[in-house]
Structure 1
């Protein structure tokens, strides 16, 4: 790609942060192009210079020009290069960027000259073509770390090469490939960081090295003595970048370290001002930091620009933020900004903008983790409770159940005895998490305390919601009469409050209950009413759940094709919502449809895929649903035979969620698949 750029532009700048491999790439390009330049390729090392006026004399020396008493160095170099076919590699230009005008003058006077620059910052010349040097290729997150699947990635190859230089018998094995993959991911694919980590295998096997990577900057030292000092430790490399910034840029850079993974400009304005005026416009500062390779720019799904730091750079920036005395104010404001964002999201999560806001919260998930960690470090239970309370719905909907459990337990432990809205909401969320594990005693205990607080505070909507949740626990355990009483009580409260969402949810639950009681026609009537309300609100989650329950009711009535179509419509919505838990439920429903149409291999695969998803997020089938699924599983096992069933089941467990969804959407496509088992 760089060679292509040089074929169309005579000035190409390789930009990127320290340690990303700019010099290595430039030298390799020079080697490959040496035959194209009759007067050679010349590497001009500028790292030791701080004075821009010394750039031209250094170029002169590199190309063999002797100093003259009769002409300036610039005139001498122009005269020498005017008729030459030459490639100059100007390495580490960032400290002498004010010499860019001299480079432009050389290019204008020497038509056969081409210049390849390495720099943290661009030269800002009209003729310049920038090439941001990307990190080395990394295995994708979620990609199985098997030797055959990851060996071709550049980051893995570099790690193995440098590790062998330190320990000749080192090799990537099935036992260490997972650790090596995680090491290069955590190091952002930066060549310098990977090289410094790899030499440590002389003493530390990859598993031990990975454990010590929580402090990258302290571990990644000890580069070769023949390298410049800035390349002998990762901290020195980033120090070099930081020292190039003016004071106002340094302030902004370290304050932006409060963000984890990324941020938009609105959030940056809020957080950057928390510890006082940084002394420059935030937009201008962000643009400058991007230009100097300390921030990376990306685009979110809605097209707004986002910015972020590589994790190695952020670790350094957090250190200097703490040392500056600005850390407390900056991180506190960061937490408050994202609390406000989550509160805005809550008002949008049950309507037409539901998917967009779920995706926004997912995009900011690492920022919420950082905010929660900060609240914990500051022993601020009020802030922690507020954050956890507003995030419970997001966590449960997107399948982050283990994480939700962790933060809920922390918040509840810190707020023991509190009688607040937030504690009641967290208790409600914690009951849902306990229900996912089928720990119904814990679920009821959480709901009972929540209900006491809600009644004490007069929270009528909370009371109606908690009573409905108690009905869900009874329904899970097939205690249908008790569930019905709770649902009817909840529905009456929702009607008093004229709460359409609450009414539609409870009607859906009553429809599910009627179907479980064997009253499929009555179930469909209630579910249709609920579905209409959800459609009016454009609540995709509610629509998807109603469709899934309607699929079960119509299958009970023998309308198998209709059941499959309803379940597929539901599954498509669950996919859009990113709701792993309900995707698993819907895979079960389509597996049961597959049993009915005698597509037994597909049924076994879908049951296996559902089981794998449940294990991944820690959500078991409720007893009532487990009984129903076991009937379908036993039919498929008995007709396929144990071995064939097990093979198909295992195929399903190995499917990624997207693969399993695609496989489920093909139910009914089998030849002859419209007939039922009993036909």
Structure 2
């Protein structure tokens, strides 16, 4: 595996090594200027045959760059072509190929033939060049164009098109701008300088909607990567409306699961301890009451910095406010010559976006005055300018100016309570929407009910009974053409989104029409049905796909739960939350669910016994692990009673098992009582065929045996739990049971058995993208390596696992660290060997460590690894 821990797009560079050494250095500089990862032999050679090595490199690369001059390259024995030609042939047809040919009169015949083939290949782009300096400039420019055209990952808060296992992990990445950022050079330099100085813990980019705060934040984040060696995280708050969800959303982006075992603030502080990171918080204004949480976070994580976009100032200590201004438009005091107008950033933006809509458009002496006037009328607001420029598909500049002249004064007269810029932005949106047919306009406004992104199936579902019913796809196509809706592929399926300000406008229109609750009800109904359909797969063979699908719909699941509670559909809300219990457990979202359930219980409305029991249980979950007490035991007992009376024996047994697990954590352990409750629950669950909960309950009995010191009994319990998980084809419970079983095997001296079990759980954890399971497995294999006197392997794997523990805030270190005594003994015998492993482990990514550890990687795990 090529070690690129930041997981940037990888650019494979093909050329003869010695002949083009200077040019290779120039290309490397160009690639790194674009914040991409160069893939070159000199950066990562390994002791493998060259052909196998460059085939492996190509398999992991995203772009092919070829540099050719005079030499065809060496042809190895038993080969018919050189490595240069073989690399080109092995590059997938779908991989973008940028070819650069250095001018020469002495080119080898076989290279001339290869270049001729390339020139007839319509999947490759090629250009001549004279020297390394020219080549560096060309590569940088061409990569920028390529990224804009073919790697469109800029939808704020959306993930790129990847396999299902990696969708959650990619959320943290800073989006790549999908179009050129114009006129923000000074802002970019100033904000970067503020972050570099480090005297202000929170830098807030403040300005009205549509002014370009998010775009500026994205550019700053990319330009400041060198200032934050431990990572940059992009936290989209667009669909987060409750202040209490700020911490869970940050935790999710950081890769921290909230399984209830420790407070989120504690886990985040562990994850950020000693790390210089930048956390970008986009669209903070809707949860501004949560601003004091940032003070607590930067207090416990003194090396972390926060870059916030908001329409309002946070007003907390440590905040530096940076006002984002509009783009300067040409003044109207003199003649509007082309040269003078072109100096305006607002005009340059208009021209750039107009050419995207109509490639033959150009700024001329004839239209310069009109375009300058358009930019002045739009107050230099970037989004307003982009929306207006998109109309060049249909209108002339004069036609755009004429319509703006009509609509802007009308809106100003009817909405004098709005700030000038807000009126201008709203006017531009209303004008863009006003050009639509009535059905398309209604569809756009109805789409405001969705959070962040949505699928075609969801659109069709909420469209039932609407004027546009049956036209969802055609309508989306028209709205995309009008630059009002965006499309991006996520996990192999098309999804759609609205800009935050467009969604705000759409919701406002729904409220004005008196149809907001109708659409929110339709939205909630669809996601209730989706959960009923998907949730059963969470406990069986389809677990990976179910977790992925629900993860991609998380923002809409939140919106549905919020609406169900808000509209007093409390029993529906309780069923919705309870049916997703396995998902909350696997993915770690208990803090969010607890907020919804507390709000439900505070409603003081009539609810079913099952709803009351489910809500109470979900609020007690974190208490059970973090603050176990007799009150928690009593509360879980009441949950069991209510579940029993409502006829849900499965849930009643789960509440009983939770009681026993709570007792296990008391300082004065009553082992007999805890074992009785866990055993009774396991027996009931077995009779009911609930293998998921039975397995986790038997794991609890195994942990109780460990606490009691009955290690052989613990092994028997964990083996029983593993067999239950295998029978139910349940990946998550198999990981939990297997890691515990393997730990006991190490304690009993069965190193071979432990290794087999840890390798199994590592493969399963990779497929499920369960990062804590990966950490436990790597720690276990570190113990195996220590027992086998393999110091480098033990040190390397321990370091990777320790990094996972810190960055994900894993909090349960003590009590079952079977690898540490073995490693300590090995370190004493060979300190240099362990230290060498730790040094190399510090440079490894998680996929590196997995590939190093798994002797053979099955196809499912390989697919998961490829997207990390």
Q: Normalised by the size of structure 2, how large is the TM-score?
A: 0.50
- Counterpart contact for 1:564–1:590, Cα < 8 Å: yes
Shift of 1:582: 4.0
2:446 to 231, 252, 255: 255
Matched, 1:210 2:309: yes
Say if 1:580 and 1:315 are closer, same or farther in 2 by CA, change over 3 A.
Answer: farther
Q: Which residue of 1 aligns with 2:187?
A: 163
Separation in 2 of the partners of 1:544 and 1:292? 48
Q: Which residues in structure 2 correspond to 1:130-529 (within 5 Å)?
A: 160-163=184-187, 173=196, 175=198, 179=203, 210-212=309-311, 222-226=326-330, 227=372, 228=374, 229-230=377-378, 232-233=380-381, 234=383, 235=425, 236-273=427-464, 276-278=466-468, 281-301=471-491, 303-375=492-564, 377-378=566-567, 381-414=570-603, 420-437=609-626, 439=628, 443-476=632-665, 480-514=671-705, 517-529=708-720
Shift of 1:333: 1.4
In structure 1, list runs of 5 or more residues that go unmatched. Answer: 1-129, 196-205, 668-679
Separation in 2 of the partners of 1:380 and 1:424? 16
Say if 1:396 and 1:636 are closer, same or farther in 2 by CA, change over 3 A.
Answer: farther
Separation in 2 of the partners of 1:515 and 1:185? 59
Shift of 1:577: 2.3
Q: Normalised by the size of structure 1, how large is the TM-score?
A: 0.62
- More helix, by proportion: 1
Shift of 1:416: 8.5
Separation in 1 of the partners of 2:849 and 2:210? 27
- Counterpart contact for 1:187–1:193, Cα < 8 Å: no
Shift of 1:505: 4.1
Separation in 2 of the partners of 1:424 and 1:150? 41
Shift of 1:338: 0.8
Say if 1:307 and 1:139 are closer, same or farther in 2 by CA, change over 3 A.
Answer: closer
- Counterpart contact for 1:487–1:506, Cα < 8 Å: yes
Bigger RCO of structures 1 and 2 (CA < 8 A, at least 6 apart): 2
Shift of 1:622: 7.9
Q: Which residue of 1 aligns with 2:768?
A: 577
Q: Which residue of 2 aligns with 1:35?
A: none
Aligned with 1:347: secondary structure?
helix
- Counterpart contact for 1:252–1:285, Cα < 8 Å: yes
- Counterpart contact for 1:511–1:524, Cα < 8 Å: yes
Structure 1, residues 208-255: CA drift from partner, whole Å, max 9, x if none? Answer: 97242699xxx9885534352346334244334212211110100111
1:566 to 745, 750, 757: 757
Separation in 1 of the partners of 2:845 and 2:595? 25
Aligned with 2:615: secondary structure?
helix
Aligned with 1:294: secondary structure?
coil
Q: Which residue of 1 aligns with 2:802?
A: 608
Matched, 1:549 2:740: yes
In structure 2, list runs of 5 or more residues that go unmatched. Answer: 1-147, 160-168, 221-304, 315-322, 331-371, 384-424, 857-868
Structure 1, residues 298-347: CA drift from partner, whole Å, max 9, x if none? Answer: 3343x443222233432332333333322111112112211221122222
Separation in 1 of the partners of 2:829 and 2:171? 33
- Cα RMSD after superposing both structures: 4.9
Aligned with 2:453: secondary structure?
coil
Shift of 1:189: 6.1
Separation in 2 of the partners of 1:607 and 1:298? 34
Shift of 1:359: 0.7
Separation in 1 of the partners of 2:768 and 2:795? 28
Separation in 2 of the partners of 1:505 and 1:493? 13
Shift of 1:666: 8.8
Shift of 1:516: 5.2
